[in-house]
Amino acid sequence: MEIINLGEADGLTPVEWAGVVEKLDAGSAPAPDGMNSRTTWLSTVNEDGSPHVTAIGALWVDGTFWFQTGTGTRKGRNVARDPRCSVAVSIRDADVVLEGEATHVTDPAAIARIAKAWADSGWPAEPDESGSGITAPFNAPWQGPPPWNVYRIEPRSATVVASAEPGGLTRFRF
């Protein structure tokens, strides 16, 4: 991993990636009294090259973000055409932007594991009959009917802005 201290000119030390991962693994809320555990934002590339940003119910599992969507959604069409994307999330004392590529996951074992992770977090997802997508009794209406496709974002880089003292601004290339 390459570490680039973007705050060096201001006397800031690099952010420790292990601490960021620890907070992501724990589902860290941006604030101790935060009502929402965190909102995760996905940015994809529209056909004309412009950005499309939307809130998603992403999971951080095994060091990467996972999300699901219907084939007819804009994000679903975008990542099918151009897998480049980014995910932004606030965690305790920092903001994180991870850039990479969305990979459509169809492996039944991976789908079952991620569906269980969603179910364990409160959304009763389960593998569909084929095992290559997921279903649930409810989802955001704009996702379309189940089954929904599952994507894993293969991280290429991350930028972390630490908001707690001593602060920091660090870019990581994986």
**pLDDT truncated to tens, each residue of the chain (174 aa)?**
999 999 998 899 999 999 999 999 988 777 766 555 568 999 999 999 999 999 998 999 999 999 999 999 999 999 999 999 999 999 988 999 999 999 999 999 999 999 999 999 999 999 999 999 999 999 888 888 999 999 999 999 999 999 888 889 999 999
Sign of the Cα pseudo-torsion (150, 156, 162, 166, in order): positive
Strand partners, 84: 101
Encoding tokens for residue 51?
């950005």
Question: Quick check: helix, strand or coil at residue 115?
Answer: helix
For residue 171, which phi and psi values (nearest 5 degrees)? -115, 135
Q: Which two tokens stand for residue 49?
A: 């090259």
Under 8 Å between Cβ of 155 and 71 = no
pLDDT of residue 29: 76
Q: Tally the domains of the chain.
A: 1
**Domain coverage including residue 119:** 2-173
pLDDT attached to residue 164: 83
How far apart CA 141 and CA 52 sit, in angstroms, is 18
Q: What is the DSSP string of 4-27?
A: EETTGGGTPPPPPHHHHHHHHHTT
The enclosing domain of 32 has a CATH number of: 2.30.110.10
- Predicted local confidence at residue 31, as pLDDT: 72
Transcribe 8-76 into DSSP letters: GGGTPPPPPHHHHHHHHHTT--SSTT-SSS--EEEEEE-TTS-EEEEEE--EEETTEEEEEE-TTSHHH
pLDDT for res 105: 98
